[in-house]
Structures are given as C-alpha cells and as structure tokens.
Amino acid sequence: MKPFEPKAIFAVIAVITLLYFATATADAQSLFEVESVNVTVYRDGLVHVTQTVTVDELAPEITLSLLSSSVENVIVLDEDDLTLDYEINGDDLTVLTLGAESISVEYDSIALTSKEAEVWTLFADTPYTSAVFLPQNSTVIYLNMMPTAIDTSSTGIKLSLYPGQWEISYVLSLTSGNGTGDNGTSDTTIPIEYLILAVVAVVAVVISVLLIIRRRKGPNVEKTVKAYPQLKKEDKEVIEFLAEKGGQAFEAEIRERFPDMPRTSLWRLVRRLERLEIVEVKKIGLENQVQLKK
C-alpha cells in the first residue's frame, strides 16, 4: 500500500481546519440576529446608536460590533428592561445573554462625526443594515455611496444604508428661502437678526401662555410626593422640574437641568416614575417627552 505523501496530509489538515472555523463562525452568527440599527445624529455632532437584537436564549453570550471603539453611556437591556452585563474590547461588545430572547443596546459616540468650516461629515463603518437620522434642517451635500432609500420629512432626513463604509457630508441651515424655480424666481433669505427677533417673540408669547395655564391648573407636586413616600430625593427634584415646565419636558431638557446625573441613572429614574404611574413617556418625533399625570 502506497503511503500518503506529506503534501497530501497537509492539504487534508488544512481543509479540516477551514471547515471547523467556518462551522464555528456560522454557529456563532446563528446565536443572534440584528433586527434594527438606528443611528441618530444631533446638531452638535453627538451620535446615538440603538440596536435591537434577537438572541438564542440558550446562548451564554454574544458579541456585537460597535460602530466606534470610542463610546459612552452604554445601556444593555433584555426584553424585560433588566440590565445585562457586558464587556467592551475595542469595537466589540460582548453581552452575557443567557436566558434572554431579545436585547437592546444603546450608546453615544462623538468619534463618528467631524466638522470642517460649516460642513459636518459622518463616518460609519457598519456591518449591519442601518437607518441614519440626520438633524432637522440639514442638507446632504455628499454621499460616497447611494443609500437604498432617502426619506425626508419635517423632522429631518432618514437614510437607509446597507453594510459598508459610509461617508455622509451635510450642512445645517439657519436660513429659509422660496427656492429658485423654473420660472426664474430667486431665493429669498431671511436675515438671521429677523429670525432671532421672531424666535424671541414667539418664546415670550409661549412662556406667557404657559404661565397663565399653569396658574389656572397645574400639577399638584405636594399631593404627588405625599402619595408616594418611597420617592427618592432625585425623584422629587425631577417631579418639581416637570411641574416648573408646565407638567412636561423632553428627556434632553431633564438631562440639561441635571447634568451631574449619569444618563443611565436618569433613564432608570424616568422608568421608575413611569412604573409608579406618576409620569408617562410619549414619543415626539425622535425624542421622548416625559409628562406628569394629573
């Protein structure tokens, strides 16, 4: 019987090794499926990423790719809004998911955008199909690839992206015009001074109306506090702030009012008040509005 040659033995070992790693990779990928990736870009360049993932409940852990190795305010929750343990290594996020059927991952990053003069650029190397929401009143001036869809609305621009390395440049407009049509009409630009005066006048009217309404009928903070003696000091402060704002405020306004409170702690505080039925959270555009219940 003719013995095997060394080259043949090496080839067989190489094929077996490749098959092993291919099978292991396929098994790892079958443990979870990324349902959605939403990338919200704010006017100051901050990017908020939200990922929804379905998970094999028997999987002890999964590893997701982050859009950046520089992230903060990471929140990982299961389908019951319970916090899950995680570990970040570079741009990989490993989540301990045993028993979870779906998870949501949220984080912020300031490393995905850059600004040169008046032009902002978003750099996104994403392995997932993603939806990018640009700020309101933004205008896209450059795309290195064509998205699968572009949706425009009064709240901003939504770009549907397929996996790849994306470069999206845009500018934020502070003026408005009637455009230049085929009939030869020219653009009309409103001076920024007029815009500022108009905004100040509108804000003054709105504040006056809100003060009148609040004086007539406002949330009874003392009654709420007495009805829930288990409230913490920070819970009461947020309730008082909401009352000052006429009974409602956006989460961004609450974060601005309490800058020393971590984003995760504030998120849990709002959810705690929601479970106690003291507040309700409504989606207004791309933001959450917290309202005191009467």
φ, ψ of residue 182 to 5 degrees: the values are -70, -20
- Asked whether residue 16 is assigned to any structural domain, the reply reads no
> What pLDDT is recorded for position 209?
74
> What pLDDT is recorded for position 228?
84
Of residues 206, 214, 290, 294, the one with CA closest to residue 254: 290
State whether 147 and 222 are in the same domain: no
Number of domains present in the structure of the chain: 2
Alpha carbon distance 25, 30 (integer Å): 9
Of residues 90, 92, 15, the one with CA closest to residue 61: 92
Alpha carbon distance 209, 212 (integer Å): 5
Going by pLDDT thresholds of 50, 70 and 90, the confidence category of residue 16 is low
Structure tokens at 107: 């984080």
Range of the domain at 258: 218-292
> What pLDDT is recorded for position 17?
55
For 187-212, what is each residue's pLDDT tens digit?
445 566 666 777 888 888 888 777 66
Task: Provide the sign of the torsion angle of the four alpha carbons 262, 266, 271, 272, taken in this order.
Answer: positive
State whether 167 and 275 are in the same domain: no
For 104-122, what is each residue's pLDDT tens digit?
999 999 999 999 988 999 9
For 118-172, what is each residue's pLDDT tens digit?
899 999 999 999 999 999 888 999 999 999 999 987 678 999 999 999 999 999 9
- Asked whether residue 9 is assigned to any structural domain, the reply reads no
State whether 39 and 145 are in the same domain: yes
**Of 109, 141, 173, which marks where a domain is finished?**
173
Alpha carbon distance 237, 261 (integer Å): 12
**Of 117, 149, 173, which marks where a domain is finished?**
173
pTM for this entry: 0.53
CATH number at residue 288: 1.10.10.10
For 247-265, what is each residue's pLDDT tens digit?
889 988 998 999 888 888 8
Asked whether 241 and 292 are in contact (CB, 8 A), the reply is no
- Asked whether residue 188 is assigned to any structural domain, the reply reads no
State whether 40 and 156 are in the same domain: yes
State whether 53 and 158 are in the same domain: yes
Alpha carbon distance 282, 294 (integer Å): 15
For 18-67, what is each residue's pLDDT tens digit?
554 444 444 445 788 999 999 999 999 999 999 999 999 898 999 999 99
Asked whether 37 and 131 are in contact (CB, 8 A), the reply is yes
Going by pLDDT thresholds of 50, 70 and 90, the confidence category of residue 95 is very high
> What pLDDT is recorded for position 161?
95
State whether 225 and 159 are in the same domain: no
CATH number at residue 56: 2.60.40.3650
State whether 48 and 161 are in the same domain: yes
State whether 62 and 154 are in the same domain: yes
> What pLDDT is recorded for position 156?
80
State whether 47 and 123 are in the same domain: yes
